[in-house]
Chain A
Amino acid sequence: MAAIFQGVGAAAALSSSLSNSFDSKKFVSSPLRKGASFAVVRSDGRVNLNPKGRRAQQLISNAVATKSDSAAASSSSKPGHELLLFEALQEGLEEEMERDIRVCVMGEDVGHYGGSYKVTKGLAKKFGDLRVLDTPIAENSFTGMGIGAAMTGLRPVVEGMNMGFLLLAFNQISNNCGMLHYTSGGQFTIPIVIRGPGGVGRQLGAEHSQRLESYFQSIPGIQMVACSTPYNAKGLMKAAIRSENPVILFEHVLLYNLKERIPDEDYICNLEEAEMVRPGEHVTILTYSRMRYHVMQAAKTLVNKGYDPEVIDIRSLKPFDLYTIGNSVKKTHRVLIVEECMRTGGIGASLIAAITENFNDYLDAPIMCLSSQDVPTPYAGTLEEVTVVQPAQIVTAVEQLCQ
C-alpha cells in the first residue's frame, strides 16, 4: 500500500499541533478500489495516522499544512511519488495522450502558456501545437469544435479557463454534447472531457467564483465528476478521457496545490463511484470537492466531542453512487450534505431527493443540507468567508442532527 503524506511548503501557524507525530500508517481505503488505499489528505492540516482503529484522525492545525515526517515510511513495495494536484492532473493527461494519439487538448492558453493553472504545462512542447491547441477566446465555438472533433474520431479535452467561462459554451454543452448521441440514434459518440476550475477562491470576485455544478446537472447524456485529491484527480482525469461518454470534470481553484503521494503504477478511479473518506457510525456526511476539507476539519472537532461521523466524498455528481450512499444511510440513519454549490436547485437538492426517494425508511431525521448562500460571491474577504460553508457550521449541524 502506498503511504501518502501531505505537505505544502508553507509553515504551519500553530506549533502546538506539530507535536503530534505519526504513529503509524492508517489508510482509509475505499471499498471500491481494489488494492490501492490511501490516507486522507487535507489542505489545511496534516494527516495523523492512528495505530489502533480503522480510522484516520485528522489533525488540523490551520489552513496551511506543513511538511510531514516521512520517516514513518511506506510499507509499500512501490514507493509512489509525491506531487501537487495540478501536477497529478497533468500527469494523468500526459499519460493518456501518450497512450492514445487521438487525445488532444483545446482551450485558451493551454499550449504555450501551459494553462492558467499549469495543468497543461510542458504538453505543447512535447506533443505539438495541434495536439495542445491554443484557441482564440470563443468558448462556444471551440467547445463545439471539440464536439465535432469527438464525433469524427478524436478524443478532445476541452479546458475552460474557469468554469464560469463555460457558461458561454452552455449552448454547445447542453444541445450538442449531451444530446447528439441520442438524436443520432447512437451513431455518433462524443468522448469529450470538459474540465476546468470552479468554486469560490480567494477574493476572485463574483464572476470567477461560480459554482456551476447545478447548471449542468440536468443535461441528459453527460456525466459529471468532481475531483478533490491528487489521487482522485489523476484517476478521474484518466477515466474521463477513456470514457465514451461526455464527462465534465470539476476542479477547484483552491485545491490545485494539494500535495499527496500517489502510486507509480497506472490506475483510474471509477467515474460512477463515491469515495469513503472516513467510516463512522453516527452520521453520514456527503460532500465533494473543497468542502471535503472543511468537513474533515469539522470532523476533527466532532471526534473530540465524541461523535463519529462517516464522511463520503461523492465524487460522481451525476450520476450519484446510490450504493455507497445507501449503505451509509442504512448504517447511520442520519444524513448531512455539505456542498459548495448554490442552495437552490443544487447538487444537494438533487441528492436529498434521491436519498428520500430511495432510502426514506432508513432515515431517523430529516436530511440536512448545508450549501453556499444564494448570493453572487462578494469580493470582501469577510463576506466571502460566510458565503461558503465553514467547519463551525458543520459541527453545529451535526450536533443538531444527532440530538
Chain B
Amino acid sequence: MILGRAFEDMCAQMYYRGKMFGFVHLYNGQEAVSTGFIKLLKQQDSVVSTYRDHVHALSKGVPARAVMSELFGKTTGCCRGQGGSMHMFSREHNLLGGFAFIGEGIPVATGAAFTSKYKREVLKEADCDHVTLAFFGDGTCNNGQFFECLNMAALWKLPIVFVVENNLWAIGMSHLRATSDPQIYKKGPAFGMPGIHVDGMDVLKVREVAKDAIGRARRGEGPTLVECETYRFRGHSLADPDELRDPAEKAHYAARDPITALKKYLIENSLASEADLKAIDKKIDEVVEDAVEFADESPVPSQSQLLENVFADPKGFGIGPDGRYRCEDPKFTEGTAHV
C-alpha cells in the first residue's frame, strides 16, 4: 500500500514537471482494495483493471521501474512505451490491462476466467484453478457490459470475482445521481451470485472478504460480486480540478486513510514498531526514486518501433506492389514507409 501511495504521489510530481502527459488517474486512497485482493493471488491468476491501474500493476508484481518507464513513454516500460498510463499489461504477471473505456475490461476478464474453466474441463488440466479479478468503478456498474458479464459468469460458474471500487464519483457524476439503486452489491443476487459489501478503506476487512470470494472461485463455485466502499483522495485524473466534491466528504474519508489505519493497527497490536514502519517508508521512497531515475535514463522508442507490434504476424501488412510481403522491406520496418 505504501508503494502504491508513494508511487502515485511521485506520478503527480512527475506529471507537473512535464515528464508524463495525457490522462493519468491516481489511486490515492483506494490502496486497501488493491492490496487486499491482489496480494492473495498467485502469479498465474489474472487481474483486469481500468485506467486507474498503476497500483493494480504494482500489487500484481510488475516492477515499479517498468511502470514508471511506461508512464514516461520509454522503451523499457512494461508495454514498451506503447500503452501508457491507461494501458498497463504484463504477460509475466498476468495483468491483462489497463482499459481506457469503462466496462471494456470486464468481458476480457470473463474471457480469462473462461480460459481457466476451459483448461480444467477441455484441456484436462485438472488442477487449474486460476482465478480472475476484474476491478472497476461505480460508474461502470450502470454499463451494459457489466450486466452482460455478470449473467455469463454466473451462468457458466466462471472463476471470477467482480470487484467494484465504489468511490462514489465518476469524474463529476455522483453515484447517487446516476444510479437508480445505489447499492451495487444487491445486483449480484439478481444474477445468481453472492453480493458482498465491504469497507474498502480497511485492508484487513477487504482481505477477509477477498479470501472468501477467491476461495469460492478456486473451488469452482462460481463468481462473486464484491462492492468495496472506498474513496479517491485526488481528483479523477491529474487534469481534474476536483471542485464538485464536498470538502466535508473528503475530510471524512481522509480520516479513514487505509495506510494510517493499518499503521495504527500494527502499532496498537504490537505487530510492528514505529521504527519498522519508518524503515518501510524509507525503503519505498528509495524504490520509487530508483524507478524515476531508471525511467529518466531509459531511451525513448525509435521510429522503427512504430509498426512493430501492430500485428502479431507482420504478414498482416500485406503484399506490396513488388510481390514481397511489406514486412520484408527494410524501409517498412524502419517506420518510414506508409502502411
Residues of A that sit less than 8 Å from B by CB: 101-102, 104, 128, 130-131, 135-136, 138, 140-154, 171-172, 175-176, 180-191, 220-221, 223, 243-245, 271-273, 316, 318-324, 326, 358-359
Contacts and interface: CB of A to CB of B under 8 A. Distances in A.
Contact of A144 (B84, B145, B321): B145
Interface stretch (B148-156, B200-208, B229-237, B261-269): B148-156
Contact of A359 (B108, B121, B313, B321): B321
A148 B313 contact: no
Nearest to B318: A319
Interface string B17-47: 0000000000000000000000000000010
B220 to A, nearest CB: 13
A273 to B, nearest CB: 7
A145 B114 CA distance: 8
Given A101-B122, A148-B114, A152-B112, 8 more contacts: A138-B149, A141-B152, A144-B145, A183-B97, A184-B309, A186-B312, A189-B312, A245-B313
Contacts of A359: 321
A185 B311 contact: no
B241 interface: no
Contacts of B109: 148
B107 A141 contact: yes
B316 interface: yes
A272 B325 contact: yes
Contacts of A322: 318-321
11 contacts: A140-B144, A141-B107, A145-B114, A147-B108, A148-B108, A148-B111, A149-B118, A183-B89, A184-B79, A185-B309, A272-B319
A222 B119 CA distance: 27
B292 interface: no
A364 B122 CA distance: 59
Nearest to B315: A272
Contacts of B80: 185-186
Interface string B91-113: 10000111111001011111111
B87 A183 contact: yes
B312 A244 contact: yes
Contacts of B148: 136, 138, 140-142
A171 B114 contact: no
Query: Which 5 A-B residue pairings sit nearest by Cβ, starting from the closest?
Result: A148-B111, A144-B107, A319-B318, A185-B80, A184-B89
B16 interface: no
Contact of B121 (A130, A146, A188, A272): A130
Interface of B: 46, 48, 77-84, 87, 89-91, 96-101, 104, 106-119, 121-123, 144-145, 148-149, 151-152, 155, 308-313, 315-323, 325-326, 339
Nearest to B75: A185
B111 A151 contact: yes
Nearest to B314: A245
Contacts of B106: 141, 144
In this complex, the member of A172, A180, A187, A273 whose beta carbon has the largest number of chain B beta carbons within 10 angstroms is A187
B149 A141 contact: yes
Contacts of B119: 153
B82 A182 contact: yes
B318 A175 contact: no
A150 B96 CA distance: 11
Given A181-B311, A186-B308, A322-B320, A130 B122 contact: yes
B81 A185 contact: yes
A188 B91 contact: yes
Contact of B107 (A130, A145, A185): A145
A107 to B, nearest CB: 13
A148 B133 CA distance: 13
A145 B89 contact: no
Contacts of A245: 311-313, 316
Given A144-B107, A244-B312, A320 B318 contact: yes
Nearest to B339: A220
A245 B17 CA distance: 39
A145 to B, nearest CB: 4
B321 A145 contact: no
Contacts of A153: 115, 119
A183 B83 contact: yes
A168 B304 CA distance: 35
A17 B110 CA distance: 56
Contacts of B84: 183
B309 A175 contact: no
Contact of A243 (B78, B91, B313): B313
B79 A185 contact: yes
B108 A186 contact: no
Contacts of A144: 104, 106-108, 110-111, 145, 149
A149 B104 contact: no
Given A142-B152, A152-B115, A172 B325 contact: no
A171 B115 contact: no
Nearest to A222: B316
Contact of A188 (B96, B104, B117, B145): B96
Contacts of B104: 144, 171-172, 175-176
A356 to B, nearest CB: 12
In this complex, the member of A145, A172, A191, A359 whose beta carbon has the largest number of chain B beta carbons within 10 angstroms is A145
B117 A130 contact: yes
Contacts of A326: 321
Contacts of A148: 48, 96, 107-115
Nearest to A186: B309
Contacts of B101: 171, 175
Contacts of A136: 148, 151-152, 155
Contact of B78 (A175, A181, A185): A185
Contacts of B144: 138, 140-141
